[in-house]
Structure 1
Amino acid sequence: MTMASNSRYTATVSLVVMAVGFVGTLFFEGSTWVRFLQSGFEAGLVGGLADWFAVTALFRHPLGIPIPHTALLPKNREKVSRALVSTIQDDLLSKKSITEKLAQVPIVEKLLRGAAEQLGSESAKMGMVSLSEYAIRQLPLDKLAAIGEREIRNIVDGVDLREMLQKALQQVYTRGYDELAFDFALDTAENLIMKPEIRDRMGAMASQALQNLNAGGMMQFALNAFAGFFNDEKLGSLIQQFMLNGIEGLRLHSNPNRRAVMKAIHNWLDNPSNQEKITLELDGWKSQMLDEFKLDEKLLELLQRLQAQALEWVHREDYVEVYVIPLVTRLVDEVCSNVELLDRLESGLREQIARWIEANHHKIGALIRENIDRFDDKTLIVLMEDKIGGDLQWIRVNGAICGFLIGIILAGIKMLA
C-alpha cells in the first residue's frame, strides 16, 4: 500500500469517526458533555466533508457530479503543464543558474585528475592499448609517404646549389681537401705507372710513335738510331722513371709545378661560368637521383616498418604502466600546475558549454512537455495523487480534527452566552 493510500485511509477513518460520533450523540439528550461532543462531531463532520470536497475537486468531479469549478487539474491541464515547464525551465534549471553552477566547479581539473586516476585499472589499460592500436592502424601511410616525398622534393628544389658549391669549395680550400685530393690522384697515378703491363704498353706506344715520326735528314737518322738502341721494354722503363720522378716532385708543396697545377685547378673551379656548368649538372643529377631512388616507395616502406614496430610496442606488457601512465600523469600535473593554461582551458570549456546550453536549453521544456503529454488525464491524476495525494489527504484529517475542536469551542461560547 502506498503512502497516498495510507493517508486516504486515515482521512476516511477520521470522517467516519466524526459521522458516527455525530449520529451517536443524537440519541443522548440533556447532558452538557453530550451537547459539547455533538457540536464538536458536527463541526468535524462539516470540516471533513468540506475538505474532502476541496481535495477531490482538484482531481475530479466529486461523486461524478459535474459541479462548476471542480476537476480543476484536468480542466486546467494545459495551464498546469505550461506553469510546470516554465518553472523548471526558466527558474529551477535556467540558463543562468546552470552556467553559474558550472562556474563553481573546476571541470577541466576534475576531468584530468579523474582520467589519470582511472588509467591504472585493467579496463583502462586494455582501452589504452586498443585505442593506441586503432590510432596507429588508422594512419594513412600512403598519404603520409606522398606528403613526405613532396616536402623532401620541395626542400631539395629549394637548395641553392650555386651557393652550396661556393661554400663547399671554400671548405675544401680551408681544410686542405684540394691538396689531399691532388695527392690521392698522384698516388693513384703512381700505382698505375708502377704496373709492368702499363710500363710495357707505354714503351710500345712510344716506339710506335718514333717509328711513325718522319723528321727527315739528320733528325730522322738520329731518331732511327735512338729507336734502334732502345727496345720497347727499355723505352717503357725510361718513360716510367721519368713520370715517377715527375710525380715525386709534384708531391712537394713547395714545388712550383704543383703550385701552378693547383692554381690552375682553383682558377677553373672559381670561374663563374664553370660553376654555372657544375650547378646545372648537379641540378640535373639531383632530379634524376630523386626519380631513380623512388622516394615515395622508400618512404612508404619506412612508414610500414615503423607502424609494425609501433604495434608491437603498444602490445608490450609494460606499455601502459611504463609509458602511458607516467606520460599522462606528467601532462596532467603540468597542466594543473599551470594556472594560466588551466584558466584558459576552463574558460574555453565553459564557453562551449554555455553555447551548448544556449542552443539546447529549450529542449528541457520540450522534454518535460513530451513526458507530460504521454499520459492521459486519468493516468496523470493517479501519478499526481500518488506523489502529492498523501499530503492532501492529511488536509481532510486536519479539517475534521480542527472542525471538532472549533465545534466544541463554539458550543462553549453558546452556553456562556
Structure 2
Amino acid sequence: MAGKARYTAAISLGVMGAGFVATMPFLDIPWVRFVQSGFEAGLVGGLADWFAVTALFRHPLGIPIPHTALLPRNRQKVTSALVKTVEEDLLSKESIRGKLEQFRIAERLLDGVMRQIGTDPFKEGIRQAAVTLLESIPKEKAAVLLEREIRKRLDRLDAKQVLEAVVGIVYEHKYDEKAFDFVLELAEQWTLTAETRLRLGAMAGQAMSRMQTNGFMQMAINAFLGFYSEDKLGGMIQQFLLSALYDLKRSGDSNRAALLKAVRQRIDGLTQDPKTEESLEQWKQRLLSQWNLAELSAGWVEQLHARLLEWVREPDFAEHYIVPLLEQGARRVRGDEQLMAKLERWIQEQLNRWIEANHSKVGALIRENIDRFDNETLIKLMEDKIGGDLQWIRVNGALCGFLIGIILEGLKALL
C-alpha cells in the first residue's frame, strides 16, 4: 500500500513539473498563464510536502540539512513519548482495571467451564489426567508411608480403651443377650435328641446307683431304678431341662436376668483386671512382631493401585463419576450470588496485584521491541505502516497547490 501511494505521489509531482515546463513557452496566452500558475504552485506544494515527509525519516537527497531526519535523531524522545502515552493514557492502570471490572470474569470463567464439562474432549481429558496421576504415584513410597502409619496407630492403641469400646458396643447392641440366647438354642437342640435323652437317663441311673445310703433308702432307690428305665428317667430329666431352657429364653424371667447380670459382671470385671490389660498389650506386641507389615502394605498398595487404574480406565468413568460431581458443584457455585461475588472480588484483587506489579513491564516491552531494531529497519517498518498515508500528503499538497495557484492568478487578474 505504501509503495502504491509513493508511486502516486511521484506521478502527481511529475505531472506538476511537466505541466509547469510545458506551459512556459505559451505564457502570452491568458488561459495558459492561469494553468501555468496552478502547475507552478502545485510543483512548489508537492516539493515542499516531499521535503517535509522525507525529513521525518531521513535527510532529503542525503544532504544533512538541519532539522531533518527527525525520527532517527529523536528516536529516544519518540520512544519515551510512545511509552508514556501507552502507560498513562492508552493502557493506564485505571483503564485496565475499569475494563476488567466490566467483564465479570468469575461468571465468564464458570460459564465456560460448565459448557466444556459435558463434552467428549473434556471427559477424555479427565480420564487421561486420572490415569496419569495414578501412574505417577510412587507405590514404594506409598507402601512405606502406609506401613509407618499403621505401625504408629497400633503402637498408640490403648488395649484397655479398645476392650472398653468393644464391651460398650456389646451392651449397646445387646450382643451378650444374643449370645446367651444362641447358647440356649444350642442347648435346647442338644436336649431334644433321643441320644441325649438316653445319655441323661444312663448318667442319672449311674449316679443314683452309686449313692451310699442306709438300707431302707437303698431299697427305695433300687426299687425306683427298677421301675424307671434309662429311657424314662432320661425323658423326665429332658422335660425338666427343656422347661428350664424355655423359662430362661423368656425376657421377663428372673433367672435369665440373674444369669445375664452375672455374665455382665464377669465382663466388667475383665475390663478392670490389670492382667487382662497386660495380656491384650502382649498380644498386640506379639501381633506387631509377627506381622510383616512392609510386605502387607506393599501388597495392599499394589492391589489398590491396580483397582483404581482399572476403574479410571473404564470408558464411562468420567461421565458417571466425575462429570456429575463437577456439574453439581458448578451449578451450586453459579447459583450462590454471595459466593460468586466473593469469587469475583478475589479474582479482581489478584488481577489488580498483578497489574500493579507488572504494569511497568508494558512500557519496558514496548521500549525493548523498539530498541531491537536499527534506524533503517525501524524507518522501513514505519514507512510500511504509515508511509502510505504520509505519501498522500504529497499528493494533496500538489493538488491543493495547483488549485491555490489558479485562484491566486485569478485574483491577480481581477485586481
* Aligned equivalents of 2:122, 2:271: Cα separation in 1: 67
Deviation at 1:385, TM superposition (A): 0.7
Match of 1:34 among 27, 32, 35: 32
Match of 1:360 among 358, 361, 365: 358
* Aligned equivalents of 1:170, 1:317: Cα separation in 2: 46
CA contact (8 A) 1:149 1:296 kept: no
Task: Determine the structure 2 residue equivalent to 1:58.
Answer: 56
3-state DSSP of counterpart to 1:165: helix
Q: RMSD of aligned C-alpha atoms?
A: 4.7
* Aligned equivalents of 2:186, 2:275: Cα separation in 1: 21
* Aligned equivalents of 2:168, 2:124: Cα separation in 1: 58
* Aligned equivalents of 1:245, 1:327: Cα separation in 2: 65
Task: Determine the structure 2 residue equivalent to 1:280.
Answer: 277
Give the direction of change, closer, same or farther, for the CA distance of 1:361–1:198 in structure 2 (3 Å limit): farther
Task: Determine the structure 1 residue equivalent to 2:69.
Answer: 71
* Aligned equivalents of 2:58, 2:257: Cα separation in 1: 123
3-state DSSP of counterpart to 1:104: helix
3-state DSSP of counterpart to 2:103: coil
CA contact (8 A) 1:39 1:411 kept: yes
* Aligned equivalents of 2:267, 2:328: Cα separation in 1: 57
1:145 counterpart = 2:143: no
Task: Determine the structure 1 residue equivalent to 2:124.
Answer: 126
3-state DSSP of counterpart to 2:26: coil
* Aligned equivalents of 2:340, 2:65: Cα separation in 1: 65
- Give % identity: 45
Deviations 1:160-215 (A, max 9, x none): 74476367457659x84585377479669979x9699999999999x9x99xxxxx
Deviations 1:354-410 (A, max 9, x none): 222222222222222221112110010011011111111111111111112222222
Give the direction of change, closer, same or farther, for the CA distance of 1:283–1:366 in structure 2 (3 Å limit): farther
Task: Determine the structure 2 residue equivalent to 1:165.
Answer: 167
Deviations 1:59-97 (A, max 9, x none): 001111111111000001111111122222332222222
CA contact (8 A) 2:197 2:238 kept: no
Deviation at 1:324, TM superposition (A): 4.0
Give the direction of change, closer, same or farther, for the CA distance of 1:101–1:411 in structure 2 (3 Å limit): same
* Aligned equivalents of 1:397, 1:66: Cα separation in 2: 25
Task: Determine the structure 1 residue equivalent to 2:225.
Answer: none
* Aligned equivalents of 1:381, 1:118: Cα separation in 2: 47
* Aligned equivalents of 2:327, 2:183: Cα separation in 1: 61
Give the direction of change, closer, same or farther, for the CA distance of 1:164–1:309 in structure 2 (3 Å limit): closer
* Aligned equivalents of 2:285, 2:203: Cα separation in 1: 39
Give the direction of change, closer, same or farther, for the CA distance of 1:379–1:187 in structure 2 (3 Å limit): same
Give the direction of change, closer, same or farther, for the CA distance of 1:195–1:324 in structure 2 (3 Å limit): same
Q: Aligned letter for 2:167?
A: L
CA contact (8 A) 1:249 1:255 kept: no
* Residue pairs, 1:373-392, within 5 angstroms: 373-392=371-390
Give the direction of change, closer, same or farther, for the CA distance of 1:162–1:30 in structure 2 (3 Å limit): same
1:99 counterpart = 2:97: yes
* Residue pairs, 1:139-288, within 5 angstroms: 139=137, 142=142, 145-146=146-147, 149=150, 153=154, 157=158, 159=161, 161-162=163-164, 165=167, 168-169=170-171, 172=174, 176-177=177-178, 180=181, 183=184, 251=245, 268-269=266-267, 275-277=272-274, 280=277, 283-284=280-281, 287-288=284-285
* Aligned equivalents of 2:117, 2:253: Cα separation in 1: 77
CA contact (8 A) 1:7 1:391 kept: yes
* Aligned equivalents of 2:317, 2:349: Cα separation in 1: 36
Q: Mean alpha-carbon deviation: is it higher for 243-252 or for 351-360?
A: 243-252
Give the direction of change, closer, same or farther, for the CA distance of 1:303–1:100 in structure 2 (3 Å limit): farther
Deviations 1:138-166 (A, max 9, x none): 45662673586379659964957447636
Q: Mean alpha-carbon deviation: is it higher for 384-393 or for 154-163?
A: 154-163
* Residue pairs, 1:37-48, within 5 angstroms: 37-48=35-46
* Aligned equivalents of 2:303, 2:67: Cα separation in 1: 83
Match of 2:23 among 25, 29, 32: 25
CA contact (8 A) 1:162 1:279 kept: no
1:114 counterpart = 2:112: yes
CA contact (8 A) 1:108 1:342 kept: yes
**TM-score normalised by structure 1 residue count:** 0.74
Q: Which runs of 5+ in 1 are unaligned?
A: 211-218, 230-236
CA contact (8 A) 2:58 2:72 kept: yes
Deviation at 1:24, TM superposition (A): 2.0
Q: Aligned letter for 1:411?
A: E
Task: Determine the structure 1 residue equivalent to 2:339.
Answer: 341
Task: Determine the structure 2 residue equivalent to 1:12.
Answer: 10
Deviations 1:288-313 (A, max 9, x none): 58736667766664554343333223
Task: Determine the structure 1 residue equivalent to 2:307.
Answer: 309
Match of 1:394 among 388, 392, 395: 392
* Aligned equivalents of 1:274, 1:307: Cα separation in 2: 40
CA contact (8 A) 1:7 1:390 kept: yes
Deviation at 1:56, TM superposition (A): 0.7
Give the direction of change, closer, same or farther, for the CA distance of 1:249–1:265 in structure 2 (3 Å limit): farther
**TM-score normalised by structure 2 residue count:** 0.74
Give the direction of change, closer, same or farther, for the CA distance of 1:246–1:397 in structure 2 (3 Å limit): same
Give the direction of change, closer, same or farther, for the CA distance of 1:168–1:320 in structure 2 (3 Å limit): closer
* Aligned equivalents of 1:11, 1:43: Cα separation in 2: 16
Q: Mean alpha-carbon deviation: is it higher for 75-84 or for 18-27?
A: 18-27
* Aligned equivalents of 2:318, 2:13: Cα separation in 1: 72
Q: Aligned pairs, how many? A: 390
